[in-house]
Each structure stands twice: as structure tokens, then as C-alpha cells.
Structure 1
């Protein structure tokens, strides 16, 4: 099937259009030159036929969420977001290379290099998880390289969530790197399904092919899905890959989620042990401290869509997923919390690279919290853990209906400073906020439901009974 032509690039004040970078299912990406400060940037522009009032609202919420992640050194930086004069939302992002996703198919990448990339990207995924965000599309083509070769993870769920609003289908599934439970539509994503996708991505960089792609045989989507369902991972086929590395990747791609590592950080630590086995210096695991994740998310707008990671249960009725092709995009960030080695390479590519260059000693101000960044290669940041007292439960939820909108309110069950409400409704998977009120929009005749729990230091308490309201037809 022929690919569509790119849309017309918008006129953006302060930016000069250069050329098209690529096209995806829901957006085009263009190369622009920013006039001040002068630099090249990638601009992702939504297609006009995808834009609705709901999409604009979600786009703004997602951009705000990405701004929080944009402090991590291995997540692509978003400089700004806006709406063009013709009404299309756009993101201005760090301009990076897709060389890594092209390179693994034509040459063998050395094992120590793959491990360095994997540990840095895994640290970014773990940091997002601590902020309550699932990526939902981890794969090699979403790992880009800065001008100085530093890997950054791109496309943090923006295309998937926006497409969900436009098409009423759960999107964002790339079959070769999707866990069996995601392909079966048992879940829209969990931490352990992301462990699978991360392991499959590391395998791909080592093997030069996805884990269930068989050279010389049919590799249609149906073939891949059948092999993934059996979860029999083929050997990588490289003598220089340690057997311990093969075993840990196979375990991380176990068919049963409970048989996989509990978190991406667990797998990152295993990859660091392989580095020690190979006699190379361990790559630092750059993971945000717990206080950052709690503070940054609670300061977002109430309607920011934060994908819950504490439970695999999704209270939204299941919708069949469809696979989507690679979206040429880049989105990103910078923050450091642990360090056991000196970072290699420096970066002077615009504001994002300047931030990375001085990350060792500059304090990062994020939301309402200040994180003091560790000095020196021997310093390991301490992850903040506080007492695990009983988490209160929301017991009474009231509702007021206005047209097709329902405002739910509830009494404070006794939350402490820093606690937040984790909300699931018939319209969203999960969102976190501090306010004891939430509005859900529906359609005439819909039944709108909500359930609420208290989130304390990343731990979710017991959920309230579900409160449902039927809208007049």
C-alpha cells in the first residue's frame, strides 16, 4: 500500500522550515531551524483530520507530562509545544539521529556498546515508571542518538494516547516487541509487559532481528504473533554474547508475566552484572529519586493522562488493538540520580546538550522539588523511602451531572502531605492528582464510572467502590 504524502508544513513564528523528516499514522515530522537560539529542531505536527477539541486538550496534557520527563539524560527533549495558525498541535523537539535503528540490521554492534545503550535507556524507562507513566511502544526505532552519540528514548505515548482519542481504538502496539498479554488484549500495558518490550529491544540490537523473526521464513504479523504466543526465544547466534545475557533476556521474555523481573531496574542491574562479567566498567543507572516522581506528577494538570503502573487491571472495556508502523518522531529529557562511572562523551548541541554536559554538578529544579545531582563517579544517590503506614481509603463519592459531564467529589479520607489520588474512570486508564474532585465527559446514554485510591510514595492503596452515573439519552 502506497504511503501518503506529507502534509503541508505549518508556518511557525521564530522557525524556518527546511524539509520533511518523516510521516506517521497521525503526524508528520519536519526539520526546522529555530531562529533564536539558532539550532535545528524536529517539529512533530498532528494531521488536521485528527484534531478535535478533545485531542487538543489531551495534547496539552501530554506535553506538560513530557516536560516533566524532559530532565532525564536518556529521554528526548521537548523544547516547546503549541498550536499552529491552521489549528494543528505541534511539538518542537531535539533533532536526533535514527542511525542506531538502521545500524543493527547491517552490522553487529559490539556487546559492551549494546549494554551501555540498554542500561541508559532502561534507566529512562524506570524513571518514567516511577512517575506513573508507561511508554507502550518500546522498540529499537524509538531509540535515537544525539549529535554526540548519547542514546535517548523517544515517543513517550503521545501518538498512542492521541490516536486512542481520535479512533476509539487502543493503539501503540508494535508486534515484534509486544508481550503476549498485550497482543491478546488482556492489558493495555503493565510494568512487566514493558520489561518484555525492553528485553526484546536489547535482543534485537544484539541479534540484528527481532526475537521471533526467523531468517528465511515467513515473518508476517500473524506468524510473529503465533511465535510470540509460544514465547520460545531463538538463540541470538553470536559467540561473543555471554550465556548469562541470553538467559536473562529469555527470562525477561517469559510468557507468564510473573516469571519476568518485577521492574526494568531489576533487568538493568542484571545487565550491569554482565558488564562486570565482561570486564568492562559498569554503566551508571540514572534513575530519578522517588520524591521527584511523586512531586512532578502531582503538579500536573488534573486531566493529564498518567498510565497506572501499580496494577495490571484496566477498568476500561477492552477495545481491539491494531498494529501501527514506526512513527518518525523524537521526544525527550535529562536528570541523573545514580552514578558508578564517568559518563562518556559531552554534548553542546543546543540547550538539551548543554544541560547534559553539565549534568554532573548542576542542581535540577523540577516542579516544586529540588534534586541535588550527585558529584563524581563514585557517588550513588539514595532513593527516598519513607514509612509504609496504612494508606487511607476513599469511602464516599458524590456526583453532580451537568449535561454530558459528571463532576465527582469525595471527602478527604485523611491523606498526608505528598499523597495523591489515583483515579480510574470509564474514559481514562489512570490519572494522578491532588484535588478531591474530577470531571468526566460522556455521551448521552453513557454510563460514567469512577474509582479512586490513594497513592503514597508510589504505592497504591485499596480502591474505593466504583461509583457510576447514567447520563440521560
Structure 2
């Protein structure tokens, strides 16, 4: 089939067009230079002949989702979203490289690097899930790379709310990295489906091909669907990949969703345990450490709470949809160079489609100050935290102190990261000879209760 002619770049106030970067089925991506502040950016522009009211709404939904999530260090940043003078919606995005999509096929990627990417992208997916968002198209070509080598998850174009997925959804998909239940139309997507795609992506980066792809064989859509839904997962075929990592990936790609890791963070913790087993320093999982609030100086009671809620997966529902098979090497949304500090960054610039939040965050005009909420003694206190050493992992557990359905636990590792979760169990990689300590608190509606007594564990050899 002949490739379509690229669309004309729109004239955008404050931006100068440089060249085209890539194209997809619904949009073209161009390289622009922003005049103030001066920087190069990727601009994703919808095609004029596909812009309908429903498509415009989908595009706005993508902008809003990216706005909510892009403060995460492993999620692509969206700077601005608007409508061009000729009526085409567009996104102004951070400029990154799409080289990973080709690199994993042409060279053998180091195990340590793949584990690092798996942990970082897994923490991005977990963050999206806690905001109630399913990505629904996790695959290597949707992982871009900053100039500093930090991976970022892109293309939330077919993402959907966990609570909004319904039998009326029409879902695009990339077959090689789609879970069996999605291919069989038994669910439009769930947390465990995303775990399958995460595992399939890590498997691909190690194997140099998608998990059920046959080298030098035929790989039609029907053949791939048949292998994914009925076949046995092929071995990666590398001597430097430990059996423990193969087991993590086999579990994540089980045909039965109940046998998989039940959350992205559980999958991440198992990758961290493999890192510890191999003698690597476990890659930190970038998660919101606690609730925070913006408090105006004029009225401390007038605050906007941005909560980190540990969302549960929506129950799968029977669903019949049109299936669109994306090619294995689909065009990506942003290509080139660009940078991102591998640390949480600030919120979006003015002009993004979430003006209600930005109106509150007028730090200069309103004299707002950032305040981290302190402990609230009226919340339940966690007691009797126990620790069990299980190989290279320490499992901390505690009894339910009487939390509500909307509550969560804040687990703070001494000298390390904090995590917000619903489960009354926390696992962490712990190399032999190390000492791991943590405290647990109850988080409720932007407040954090008193901490438990510090519990420590010291694997053998310490």
C-alpha cells in the first residue's frame, strides 16, 4: 500500500517549523523550535481528514491524560495543547529519541539495562494505574529515550479510564504485545493485561523480537493471535538471562490473569529482586512519596489536594470490538534529541488543557507556598509489622488496623523511597548482608497518620 503524503505543518504562534519527524495513521509529528523559552520540541498534529468531533474529544482526552501524568520522570512531558488556525488539534511535547524501537532488534541489549528500563517504565505504568488510567498500548516503540538515556513512556492516544472501559469501546492494539484476553475480546483491558504487556516488552528487549514472533518464519496477525492465546512462551535463548528472570516474565505472561503479578508495582519489585540477585544496585521505582497540597498564603484552608491513590484494577467485562493490528515497527510520536532529569519534574507550563489546576498554581501572582501535610493522629495506626527474608527479597506484612475502602498505606523505606499502596504487604529487594528498615502509615484524603514502629530485616550474611 502506498504511503500517504505528509500533511503540511501548521503555522503556530511562538514556534518555528524545522522538519518532519514521523507519521502515523491519525497524526503527523514535526520538529519545531519554540521561541520562548527557546528549545526544540516535537509537535503531534492530527490529520485534517480524520478530525471529527469524536476524534477531537479523543485527542483532548490524550492531552488531559498526559497533563495529569507527565510530571513522572518516566512519562513523556506534554508542554502545551491547542487547536491550530486551520482547525487541527496539536500537542507540543518533549523531544526524545525513538531509537529503542529499532535498537533491540539489531543488537543484544545488556540485561542490567533491560532490567532498569523495566523498573522505570513499570513505575510509570503503576503511576498511571493509581490515577485510574490504563495505557493499553505498552510496547517497545512507545518507549522513547532522553538524551541522558532515561526511558519515557509515550502515546496515551488509546488510553482509557479504568472505570470507563466498557463494551462499547473500540480499541486499537498492537497484537505482539497484547494480552490473550484482550485479543479474544473478553476485556477491553485491565491492570493484569498491562502487566502482560510490560512482561512482553521486557521479554522483547532481551530476545530481540516480540515474544511469539518466529524468526525467519511467517508472523501474520492470525498466527500471532493463535500463538499468544494458545501457545507456550518461547525461551529468551540467552545464557546471561537468569532463570529467575525467565520465571518473572513467564508469570507476567501467564494466559490466566489470576496467575500474573496483580499490579505493575508487584512486577517491578520482582525485577528489582532479580537485579539484587545479579549483584546490581536495584533501580529505584519512582512513585509519589506522599500526598501534598498547594496552600495559598491568603487562606491556608483553601487548598488543592493532588492525591496519590492506589487504584485497584477494574473487573474484566465481556467485550466485542473492532481489532486493529498495529505494525511491529509503528511510527513513534517524537524523534530526535532532548533531555530529562531522571527525577520528578515540575508541572506543565501555561496553556495546557487543564487550566483549572494551573489557575490555582499561580505561584508568583498568588504567593502560593508548597506544604507537605503532616501526620494526623486520628487516623488508624499500623502495628505488629513483621519481616520475613525470602531469598534476595524481604517481605514485610502487617494486620489491617481498620482502614476504609478509600484509604491506602504509605510505606516509607528508611534511607530510600516511599510507596503508596492498598496491599498490607510490601516486598523489597535486599542483597545479602544489607539491612532494610521501614515504617507504615495510613493515608486518607491527603492526610497521613502516625507511623508504625520501625521494623528491620537483615538477610543472612550481614
Q: Same fold (TM over 0.5)?
A: yes
Does residue 1:329 correspond to 2:333, yes or no?
A: yes
CA 1:20–1:375 in structure 2 vs 1: closer, same or farther (change >3 Å)?
Answer: farther
Distance 1:33 1:152 in 2: 21
1:84 is aligned to: 84
- Residue 82 of structure 1 deviates from its aligned partner by 0.4
Conservation of the 8 A alpha-carbon contact between 2:150 and 2:342: no
Equivalent residue of 2:79, what SS? strand
Distance 1:55 1:239 in 2: 47
Distance 1:297 1:90 in 2: 28
Equivalent residue of 1:261, what SS? coil
- Residue 318 of structure 1 deviates from its aligned partner by 2.7
TM-score (norm 2): 0.69
Distance 1:273 1:8 in 2: 49
Equivalent residue of 1:383, what SS? strand
- Residue 104 of structure 1 deviates from its aligned partner by 0.7
Conservation of the 8 A alpha-carbon contact between 2:97 and 2:334: no
> Which sits farther off after the overlay, 365-374 or 181-190?
365-374
Distance 1:14 1:52 in 2: 26
Where in structure 1 are there 5+ consecutive unaligned residues? 162-167, 299-307, 332-347, 388-416, 420-473
Moved over 4 A (4+): 158-161, 289-298, 357-360, 362-377, 384-387
Distance 2:207 2:115 in 1: 13
CA 1:297–1:62 in structure 2 vs 1: closer, same or farther (change >3 Å)?
Answer: farther
Question: Residues 383-412 of structure 1, C-alpha deviation per residue, up to 9 Å, x if partnerless?
Answer: 27699xxxxxxxxxxxxxxxxxxxxxxxxx
Distance 2:49 2:347 in 1: 43
Equivalent residue of 2:152, what SS? strand
Distance 1:216 1:96 in 2: 32
- Residue 146 of structure 1 deviates from its aligned partner by 0.5
2:101 is aligned to: 101
Question: Residues 145-203 of structure 1, C-alpha deviation per residue, up to 9 Å, x if partnerless?
Answer: 00111100100235889xxxxxx872330010011111111111100010000000000
What is the 5 A alignment of 1:59-458? 59-158=59-158, 170-289=170-289, 291=291, 296=306, 310-314=313-317, 318-325=320-327, 326-330=330-334, 353=340, 356=341, 359=344, 378-383=415-420, 418=445
Distance 1:181 1:249 in 2: 17
CA 1:257–1:128 in structure 2 vs 1: closer, same or farther (change >3 Å)?
Answer: same
CA 1:87–1:159 in structure 2 vs 1: closer, same or farther (change >3 Å)?
Answer: farther
- Residue 50 of structure 1 deviates from its aligned partner by 1.6
Equivalent residue of 2:420, what SS? coil
- Residue 358 of structure 1 deviates from its aligned partner by 6.4
CA 1:297–1:216 in structure 2 vs 1: closer, same or farther (change >3 Å)?
Answer: same
Conservation of the 8 A alpha-carbon contact between 2:78 and 2:348: no
How many pairs were matched up? 357
Conservation of the 8 A alpha-carbon contact between 1:363 and 1:371: no
CA 1:372–1:201 in structure 2 vs 1: closer, same or farther (change >3 Å)?
Answer: farther
Conservation of the 8 A alpha-carbon contact between 2:191 and 2:263: yes
TM-score (norm 1): 0.68
1:448 is aligned to: none
CA RMSD of aligned residues (A): 3.8
CA 1:150–1:19 in structure 2 vs 1: closer, same or farther (change >3 Å)?
Answer: same
CA 1:196–1:231 in structure 2 vs 1: closer, same or farther (change >3 Å)?
Answer: farther
Where in structure 2 are there 5+ consecutive unaligned residues? 162-167, 294-303, 362-369, 374-410, 425-443, 447-462
